[in-house]
């Protein structure tokens, strides 16, 4: 079992392919994007993820990893393609479907197929198994098939790939064991066995839990703001209880996982998934709340300009998919003059400004993403460039004392101080 073909070289596929390649396997990474394939074959990367470039370079230089537009025969096929949702919020499984079709002509008796993409329960035993059966494969005797959901956190992918516990959901015990043996080549966490559909549901439950938890604190933020107390302090104190783990409020929930995956359940089980849906709506309402607050803060200023800090869906990454910052900027753009700064992003739908230009003549700094760099901004320095000295932090990542000492009016999400 020494050659692995990984379909999809994105945020999950590329780190996974590199990890196997640096742990003794020959790996062919496959992607439909020519630029991605060319970039990787040169030992470069097309996404930002700490440590990823080093491991990709090592894998390419050793000759163990190659990228290609086409899959080849292998012992193991790993499907790590995106599973976004459609306009109607139903899951779009077309990439998983296409990947399964692409590998079927290459499959040989004894091959292992691992489906890693987050999917609605039943995708492995329904969609994937269906395609394989249609092509004449006998799933009990010809192939091994398992769903092993990825669970890594963007920004910490390499560490979590190694250290996180893994769920291995086989279509039978033999498939689960074969998949587990493969992951044990680099996973130091526990590996738990189950069936494929339970594994799919467990992965969705993890992200739904996080979405519901964040919705709860976002709701508390609105309430604390009305009372005039600090929600961040409330969360910190409540979390001193040994069985409480409230997450953090923020301007909304973005990314391609938590803001998407709950819809896989809501769209299939609208009658049951009521809490899940309410959480989605609560989090989706946060950008509108931020817009209202910004309007209120700037209501007395003529032709106000806002310096927006951060456009990615969370700090220290370059990913803007489903970012609440995008929605906030879209709506701010209808009312205000904006300059936007994000040191992690190269291409964005609006023009990005240089550092000093961002603050020049601005009336308010609006912090939408907690990039580490922002913590080190010198308030005295940027204050001199601004027309009015005010900052609204939606992430609680700026030191209020530091900015107040520099003469700034400071506003924090979920703290009152505005109407
Ligand atoms: N967020 C908050 N408050 C918090 C935590 C996050 O508002 O306390 C926001 C973030 O700013 C961001 C969004 O939620 O906009 C999602 O960020 P995240 O860090 O919670 O999660 P993702 O989407 O980057 O990664 C999640 C992870 N899932 C869980 O932690 C349960 C990761 O482990 C999964 O592998 C990943 O989804 C995935 O691929 O499904």
- Ligand 1 centroid from CA 258, angstroms: 6
| Better-scored residue on pLDDT, 418 or 378 | 378
Q: Is the pTM of this model over 0.85?
A: yes
Instruction: Quote the pLDDT of residue 416.
Output: 78
Work out the percent of the chain whose per-residue pLDDT is above 70: 99
For the segment 288-309, what is each residue's pLDDT rounded down to a tens digit? 999 999 999 999 999 999 999 9
- Ligand 1 centroid from CA 207, angstroms: 7
Instruction: Quote the pLDDT of residue 417.
Output: 66
Mutate-to-test residue for ligand 1 from 120, 314, 320, highest number of ligand atoms within 8 A of CB: 314
- Ligand 1 centroid from CA 85, angstroms: 17
For the segment 96-152, what is each residue's pLDDT rounded down to a tens digit? 999 999 999 999 999 999 999 999 999 999 999 999 999 999 999 999 999 999 999
User: What are φ and ψ of residue 333, in 5° steps?
Assistant: -60, -25
- Give yes or no for residue 13 having a pLDDT over 90: yes
Confidence of residue 392 (pLDDT cuts 50, 70, 90): very high
The residues, ordered by sequence, that sit 6+ positions from 222 with a Cβ below 8 Å of its Cβ are 289, 414
* Mean pLDDT estimate for the chain: 96
Mutate-to-test residue for ligand 1 from 91, 251, 253, 285, highest number of ligand atoms within 8 A of CB: 253
Return the residue whose CA atom lies nearest to atom 35 of ligand 1.
151
Confidence of residue 30 (pLDDT cuts 50, 70, 90): very high
Closest atom of ligand 1 to CA, residue 12: 39
Confidence of residue 21 (pLDDT cuts 50, 70, 90): very high
* Whether the CB of 310 sits within 6 Å of ligand 1: no
Tokens of 187: 């996973």
Q: Which of 30, 16, 12, 185 is nearest to 100 (CA)?
A: 30
For the segment 356-384, what is each residue's pLDDT rounded down to a tens digit? 999 999 999 999 999 999 999 999 999 99
For the sheet with 305-309, list strands across it.
337-341, 305-309, 364-367, 390-393, 409-412
For the segment 70-112, what is each residue's pLDDT rounded down to a tens digit? 999 999 999 999 999 999 999 999 999 999 999 999 999 999 9
Confidence of residue 419 (pLDDT cuts 50, 70, 90): very low
Instruction: Quote the pLDDT of residue 418.
Output: 57
Confidence of residue 185 (pLDDT cuts 50, 70, 90): very high
- Ligand 1 centroid from CA 321, angstroms: 12
């Amino acid at each position: 079992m020494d050659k692995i073909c990984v379909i999809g070289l994105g945020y999950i596929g590329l780190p996974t392919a590199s990890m196997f390649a640096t742990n003794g396997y020959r790996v062919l990474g496959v992607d439909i994007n020519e630029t991605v394939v060319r970039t990787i074959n040169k030992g470069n990367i097309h996404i930002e993820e700490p440590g990823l470039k080093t491991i990709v370079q090592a894998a390419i230089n050793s000759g163990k990893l190659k990228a290609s537009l086409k899959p080849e025969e292998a012992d193991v096929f790993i499907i790590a393609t995106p599973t976004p949702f459609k306009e109607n919020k139903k899951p779009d499984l077309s990439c998983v479907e296409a990947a399964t079709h692409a590998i079927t002509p290459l499959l040989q008796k004894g091959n292992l197929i691992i489906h890693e993409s987050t999917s609605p329960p039943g995708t492995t035993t329904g969609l994937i198994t269906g395609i394989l059966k249609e092509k004449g494969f006998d799933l009990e005797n010809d192939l091994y098939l398992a769903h092993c959901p990825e669970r890594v956190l963007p920004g910490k992918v390499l560490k979590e790939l190694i250290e996180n516990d893994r769920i291995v959901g086989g279509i039978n015990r033999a498939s689960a064991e074969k998949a587990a043996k493969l992951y044990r080549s680099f996973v130091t966490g526990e590996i738990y066995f189950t069936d494929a559909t339970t594994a799919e549901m467990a992965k969705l439950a993890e992200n739904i839990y996080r979405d519901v938890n964040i919705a709860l604190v976002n709701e508390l933020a609105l309430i604390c703001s009305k009372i005039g107390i600090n929600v961040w302090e409330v969360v910190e104190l409540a979390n001193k209880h040994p069985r409480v783990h409230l997450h953090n409020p923020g301007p909304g929930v973005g990314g391609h996982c938590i803001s998407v995956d709950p819809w896989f359940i809501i769209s299939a089980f609208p009658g049951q998934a009521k809490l899940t849906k309410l959480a989605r709506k609560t989090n989706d309402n946060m950008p509108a709340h931020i817009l209202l607050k910004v309007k209120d803060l700037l209501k007395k200023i003529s032709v106000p300009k806002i310096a927006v800090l951060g456009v990615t869906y969370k700090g220290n990454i370059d990913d803007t998919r489903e970012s609440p910052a995008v929605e906030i900027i879209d709506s701010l753009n209808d009312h205000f003059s904006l300059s936007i700064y994000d040191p992690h992003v190269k291409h964005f739908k609006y023009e990005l400004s240089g550092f000093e230009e961002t603050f020049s003549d601005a009336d308010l700094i609006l912090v939408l993403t907690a990039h580490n760099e922002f913590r080190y901004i010198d308030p005295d320095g940027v204050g001199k460039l601004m027309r009015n000295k005010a900052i609204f932090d939606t992430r609680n990542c700026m030191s209020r004392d530091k900015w107040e000492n520099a003469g700034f009016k400071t506003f924090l999400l979920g703290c009152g101080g505005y109407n």
